[in-house]
Every structure is written in structure tokens, then in C-alpha cells.
Amino acid sequence: MGYELYRHVLNNAPAEIDAAARLVLAVIADDANEKTRRSYLGMDLLSHRTGLLPDSASKALRRLAKAGFEIRVPVGTDKNGKPVFAMKGHRTVYLIPVFPERFMAPKPGREADLQGEESPDERQTKDGSKAGSSSAKAGRESAKPGREADPLPQSPQSPHSFGPEDGSLFPVPEETNTHKDEMNKPAKKKTTAPEHLDITDQMRAWADQNTPGINLELETLKFLNHHGAKGSKFIDWVKAWRNWMINAHQFAEERQQNRRGNLRVVGGSRNDVPDNSYWDNVTDEDLKRSFL
């Protein structure tokens, strides 16, 4: 990398070169070889390092050439005789020029004098160390033997503020047993329909209250056959059973209502049809005889 070339450009590039052109020149000089002064930096990388758009970087190179500092090495000419700096299979090559030195190096005698002279920073460091020694001495004298000095007050955000017991910077609250139990519980998985489902007393009590009149054994058999044939999977088969019973109860009510609606009135008029109290007491045998 061309560190010396980079310093040469920064120190000696003419003042009339604008800031963008100077930046492009310095970036190319930093990439150039120290011995050959040549750089093969691509436009995409040049644009990235300078922060300029490729078009802006190209314009900066043309301004350098117009100022008399053409750093692009021509690889040929076009039909009009103008130089060509890049072509297919040949990227642009840059050559860093030699600028006249604007800042001369200090004379050997003066350089030796400067090396022996203390800088303001060194003097300040020495003075500070002396003051620190005096302050430390005064502090030791003020502390009584056998008694520890009081600790400096710490803010809650101080990096030296520790917990009261374990010394940790940020005490972690203890996990409750309930939280641990929930974390250790295995996740429930869906299963296929069982071969047999026992109807417990709780299930029967629920059915008597929510789906009265349903043949539980028959509907349970239909429930298992249906979901077993489909390959259905549920997490809770008892809840799925309850949904089946609710649907079965609704279907039974709908069938009963359809039967009542299909009854024919034989003789008389529609005003002779009994009221709802009659239908509440009608039996299935009565309904069958009405269709004969």
C-alpha cells in the first residue's frame, strides 16, 4: 500500500485542486504501489472509499486532467484520436505524479533541539503526577490507623454498584416454583381416535344437562368410527366428544321439527290443527300412524 504516496499527495498536491478531486487522488495514492506508483483500483471500490458516486468520481478525474494532472494511463486512442483509458478486458491504470514539495523537512540541528525539548503534554503529565503524589500523601495522613476510609458513594448506574449478597452487577430475580413447573410441563400432542372411549360419570352428567335424550353409547360409537376413518387428530378427545354430542342433539331437534312440518291435515281446515300443547304430548307411534 502507498502510505508514503498518500502522505505525499496530502502534503504537496496543488491548492487549486478541489476537495473531491483531492480526495480521489489521495485514495488512489493510498492504494498504489510504492515503487511503481501505479494503482489498479476499480471504480466500484474507488466510489465506496471516497463516498462519491461513480459519475462524480469520473468527473473528479477529468478535472484533475484539466488541471494538468492526468493520472490515468491511456491504453489506446479512439477513432477521433482521443486517449482511451479502459476497454474490455483492461481496467483503468492510475499513475501517481510527483508533486513539488510544499512542506520542507526540519533542519537536523533544529530537529535535535526539538527532540530534547519537553512537549506541553509531557510537562502536564509530570506536574499531574507530582500533584497526585501530594494528594495521595495527604489522604494517607488523614486516614486514621485501624479505621477504613468510608467508601465513595455510588449511583445506581455505577459499574461498581453490586448486589447486596452475591456481588452481581444486576441481581436476577428468583424463579417461582409455579414458573418452573410450567416450563417443565411437556407440551400436549394431537393423537388419533382411540379404539374405545369410556363414558365416565362426569361425561354422563354433562350429557344429561346439555344434550338430553341422546343415546350416548350409539353416538360415541359413531363418533369414534367417523374420526377413526378420517384419521382426525385432537389434543382433547373428551372435548371433541362433547362437540359431537351437541351436534347430534341439534340434528335430532331439527329432524323432529321437520317431521312436524310435514304432517298432512286430513279433512277439516288448518284451524283444526292442534296447538303446541298437543305436539308436546304426541308420541312417535302417533306420528307414524299419521303417515299411513
- Quote the DSSP letter at residue 195: S
Q: What is the pLDDT of residue 5?
A: 86
Tell me the per-residue pLDDT of 61-76, one tens digit each, with 9 for 90 and over.
Answer: 999 999 888 999 998 8
What CATH number was assigned to the domain covering residues 3-95? 1.10.10
Q: What is the pLDDT of residue 229?
A: 92
- For residues 92 and 73, give the distance between their C-alpha atoms in angstroms, rounded to a whole number: 7
Ramachandran angles phi, psi of 230, nearest 5°: -80, -15
Ramachandran angles phi, psi of 85, nearest 5°: -105, -10
User: For the chain, where are the E strands, in sequence order?
Assistant: 38-39, 72-73, 76-77, 83-84, 93-95, 191-192, 233-234
245-257 burial code (b ≥16 CB/10 A, e <16): beebbeeeeeeee
- Quote the DSSP letter at residue 104: P
Which triple of cell numbers denotes residue 150? 468510608
Q: What's the pTM value of the predicted model, to 2 decimals?
A: 0.37
Q: Residue type for 285, please? A: E
Residue ranges covered by each domain of the chain: 3-95, 191-290
Instruction: Mark the ranges of the chain whose per-residue pLDDT is less than 50.
Output: 111-114, 143, 155-170, 265, 268
